[in-house]
């Protein structure tokens, strides 16, 4: 097999491959021999039909199959022997590749490859220290969050719904006198979100619920969105009947020595000390990340290199899978996910390019510094994700495996270890 490799663009090579006649003859003989041994033709016992007859009846299909087999196996061999790492599907014009037993087989393959990274200067990078301070305001905010978390929703009989009150209602939708939807016990907290109608946010329904009381009934007419999923309802008017079942108000506990003991603290001062430790830990983690970002930006400038379009597109697809995965774990509906992904399209390419460059650089450094990810670290990360989203670890693992995200999870952990390595090797100045 003869090969010629030449660059035809940034991160793109063309490989010309020539298979000699004797190799083609060998592959054809193997294919015909196997075909004859397993085929029965009228007038001949199994395995005894003459090759000349097989060639007349099936020769075209057999040659095409042999051609495709040779092309695929040859590409694999050339990639491996020349350390070529395709980042997208190779471009091969199978129609132009003509297989002739007397002339062999010649064809070209164009493939995008990983960029070459020649980076050795990545330690000792100067970075400005991010100062960490826990203020009284930080502690007060944390206390308020804790008090809200432990608040209780109490039913209000005659009080109109105000900001941050909970409204529980039943809803019926009618079009042309026919009921098309019925929802019970819908829960909505005023001022926090906009109620949806046919998958779209509907301020009209929000406005109708402002100031309602337990037991109230409302009727409003709303136009169905022109891009509603169900085409037959688009643009039509819908009568919405709403029955208010309850209006609840969040009663936030007072900050007293008695209350803090009910949530596991010895005193208010001890609670403040614990909250301060938690805030400080998170701020230190955020500061480390910000310093690592400074280092990564510096490294990216030192190692500027082109990114193959195929890799960018793959990165964009991964971004959408990752964003979708996160929203699924958060409990978002398909319609909500589709809407949010549409809004994210504009920044997807820019984000993809930066993430791919960062990943390639981190991969380069990880190989040089022998930084790898253990299975214990993967299990620990899965447990952390499970705790964050209140899921079982085996449920999270199954979700990642089914969505082909385990490889990327390991890559993310490895990148974090590389970032930590770079920060520890940096020159941090106050």
What would the pLDDT profile of 306-333 be if each residue is shown by its tens digit?
A: 888 888 888 888 788 877 877 777 767 7
- Pair (315, 401) in one structural domain: yes
Number of H helices, E strands in the chain: 11, 13
The last residue of a domain, from among 194, 219, 251: 251
pLDDT of residue 208: 83
Q: Is residue 36 part of a domain?
A: yes
Residue 63: count other Cβ atoms within 10 Å of its Cβ. Answer: 18
Q: What is the CATH number of the domain that holds 181?
A: 3.10.50.30
Return the H-helix or E-strand segment holding 91.
strand 91-92
Average pLDDT over residues 50-68: 89
pLDDT of residue 338: 78
Would residue 9 be called left, alpha or beta, if left means φ above 0 and alpha means ψ between -120 and 50 degrees? left
- Pair (234, 268) in one structural domain: no
Average pLDDT over residues 143-151: 94
The last residue of a domain, from among 208, 229, 251: 251
Q: Is residue 92 part of a domain?
A: yes
Cα–Cα distance measured from residue 81 to residue 77, given in angstroms and rounded to the nearest whole number = 6
Are residues 425 and 369 in contact, defined by beta-carbon separation less than 8 angstroms? no
Closest C-alpha to 195, from 174, 169, 234: 169
pLDDT band at 78 (very low <50, low <70, confident <90, very high): very high
Are residues 152 and 251 in contact, defined by beta-carbon separation less than 8 angstroms? yes
- Pair (362, 293) in one structural domain: yes
Q: What is the CATH number of the domain that holds 93?
A: 3.30.70.1050
The DSSP letter of residue 378 is H
- Pair (158, 187) in one structural domain: yes
Task: Judge whether residue 60 has pLDDT over 80.
Answer: yes
- Pair (289, 206) in one structural domain: no
What φ, ψ does residue 83 adopt, rounded to 5°? Answer: 55, 40
Buried b (16+ CB within 10 A) or exposed e, 238-271: bebebebebbbbeeebeeeeeebeeeebeeeeeb
Q: Is residue 128 part of a domain?
A: no
Task: Judge whether residue 248 has pLDDT over 80.
Answer: yes
Cα–Cα distance measured from residue 375 to residue 400, given in angstroms and rounded to the nearest whole number = 15
When divided into structural domains, the chain yields a total of 3
- Pair (282, 418) in one structural domain: yes
- Pair (281, 395) in one structural domain: yes
Q: Is residue 82 part of a domain?
A: yes
Average pLDDT over residues 401-428: 92
CA neighbours closer than 13 Å in the CB half-sphere of residue 330 = 11
Domain that holds residue 96: 2-112
Joined together, the tokens standing for residue 163 give 């900001």
Mean pLDDT of the chain: 89
User: Which residue bears the tokens 């290199």?
Assistant: 305
Cα–Cα distance measured from residue 4 to residue 12, given in angstroms and rounded to the nearest whole number = 14
- Pair (239, 301) in one structural domain: no
Task: Judge whether residue 200 has pLDDT over 70.
Answer: no
pLDDT band at 207 (very low <50, low <70, confident <90, very high): confident
Would residue 150 be called left, alpha or beta, if left means φ above 0 and alpha means ψ between -120 and 50 degrees? alpha
E runs forming strands in 117-165: 126-128, 152-155
pLDDT band at 189 (very low <50, low <70, confident <90, very high): confident
- Pair (237, 347) in one structural domain: no
Average pLDDT over residues 332-352: 78
Closest C-alpha to 58, from 76, 25, 34: 34
Cα–Cα distance measured from residue 190 to residue 161, given in angstroms and rounded to the nearest whole number = 8
What φ, ψ does residue 87 adopt, rounded to 5°? Answer: -110, 0
Joined together, the tokens standing for residue 335 give 């319609």
Q: Give CA separation, 29 vs 34, 97, 106, 173, 219, in Å.
A: 9, 20, 19, 71, 81
Are residues 174 and 239 in contact, defined by beta-carbon separation less than 8 angstroms? yes
Task: Judge whether residue 199 has pLDDT over 70.
Answer: no
Are residues 236 and 221 in contact, defined by beta-carbon separation less than 8 angstroms? no
Over residues 2-23, the pLDDT tens digits come to 899 998 888 889 999 999 999 9
Return the H-helix or E-strand segment holding 58.
helix 51-81
Alpha helices in 330-405 (DSSP H): 334-369, 375-388, 393-402
Task: Judge whether residue 423 has pLDDT over 90.
Answer: yes
Task: Judge whether residue 370 has pLDDT over 70.
Answer: yes
Alpha helices in 132-244 (DSSP H): 136-149, 203-209
- Pair (326, 412) in one structural domain: yes
Cα–Cα distance measured from residue 13 to residue 7, given in angstroms and rounded to the nearest whole number = 4
pLDDT of residue 282: 95
Q: Is residue 144 part of a domain?
A: no
Average pLDDT over residues 54-67: 89
- Pair (108, 16) in one structural domain: yes
The last residue of a domain, from among 224, 251, 278: 251
Q: Is residue 145 part of a domain?
A: no
Cα–Cα distance measured from residue 110 to residue 89, given in angstroms and rounded to the nearest whole number = 9
Q: Is residue 129 part of a domain?
A: no
Residue 146: count other Cβ atoms within 10 Å of its Cβ. Answer: 17
Q: Is residue 135 part of a domain?
A: no
Residues 6+ apart with CB under 8 A from 256: 268
User: Percent of the chain beyond pLDDT 70?
Assistant: 99
Task: Judge whether residue 380 has pLDDT over 70.
Answer: yes
Cα–Cα distance measured from residue 205 to residue 172, given in angstroms and rounded to the nearest whole number = 12
Q: What is the CATH number of the domain that holds 294?
A: 1.10.3120
Cα–Cα distance measured from residue 261 to residue 204, given in angstroms and rounded to the nearest whole number = 44
- Pair (271, 246) in one structural domain: no
Are residues 17 and 74 in contact, defined by beta-carbon separation less than 8 angstroms? yes
Residues 6+ apart with CB under 8 A from 394: none
Average pLDDT over residues 268-277: 96
């Amino acid at each position: 097999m003869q090969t010629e490799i030449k660059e035809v663009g940034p991160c793109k090579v063309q490989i010309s491959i020539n298979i000699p006649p004797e190799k083609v003859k060998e592959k054809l003989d193997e294919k015909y021999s196997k075909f004859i041994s397993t085929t029965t033709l009228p007038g001949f016992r199994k395995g005894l039909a003459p090759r000349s007859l097989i060639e007349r009846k099936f020769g075209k299909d057999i040659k095409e199959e042999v051609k495709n087999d040779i092309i695929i196996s040859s590409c694999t061999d050339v990639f491996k022997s020349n350390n070529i790492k395709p980042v997208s599907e190779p471009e091969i014009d199978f129609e132009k590749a003509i297989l002739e037993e007397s002339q062999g087989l010649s064809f070209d393959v164009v493939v995008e490859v990983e960029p070459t990274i020649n980076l050795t200067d990545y330690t000792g990078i100067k970075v400005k220290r991010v100062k960490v301070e826990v203020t009284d305001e930080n502690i007060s905010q944390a206390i308020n969050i804790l008090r809200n978390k432990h608040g209780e929703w109490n039913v209000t009989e005659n009080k109109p719904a105000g900001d941050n009150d909970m409204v529980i209602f039943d809803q019926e939708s009618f079009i042309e006198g026919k009921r098309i939807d019925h929802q019970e016990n819908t829960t909505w907290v005023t001022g926090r979100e906009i109620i949806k109608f046919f998958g779209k946010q509907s301020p009209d329904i929000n406005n109708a619920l402002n100031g309602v009381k337990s037991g109230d009934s409302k009727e409003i007419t709303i136009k169905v969105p022109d891009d509603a999923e169900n085409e037959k309802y688009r643009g039509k008017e819908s009568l919405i009947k709403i029955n208010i079942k309850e209006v609840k108000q969040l009663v936030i506990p007072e900050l007293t020595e008695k209350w803090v003991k009910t949530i596991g603290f010895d005193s208010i001062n001890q609670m403040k000390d614990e909250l301060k430790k938690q805030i400080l830990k998170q701020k230190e983690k955020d500061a480390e990340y910000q310093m690592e970002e400074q280092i990564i930006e510096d490294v990216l400038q030192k190692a500027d290199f082109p990114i193959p379009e195929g890799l960018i597109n793959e990165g964009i697809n991964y971004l959408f899978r990752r964003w979708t995965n996160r929203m699924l774990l958060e409990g978002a509906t398909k319609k909500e996910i589709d809407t949010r992904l549409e809004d994210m399209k504009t920044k997807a390419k820019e984000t993809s390019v930066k993430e791919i460059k960062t990943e390639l650089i981190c991969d380069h450094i990880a190989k040089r510094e022998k930084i790898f990810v253990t299975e214990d670290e993967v299990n620990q990360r899965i447990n952390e994700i499970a705790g964050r989203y209140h899921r079982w670890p085996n449920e999270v693992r199954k979700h990642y495996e089914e969505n082909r995200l385990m490889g990327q999870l390991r890559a993310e952990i490895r990148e974090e270890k590389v970032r930590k390595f770079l920060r520890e090797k940096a020159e941090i100045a106050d």
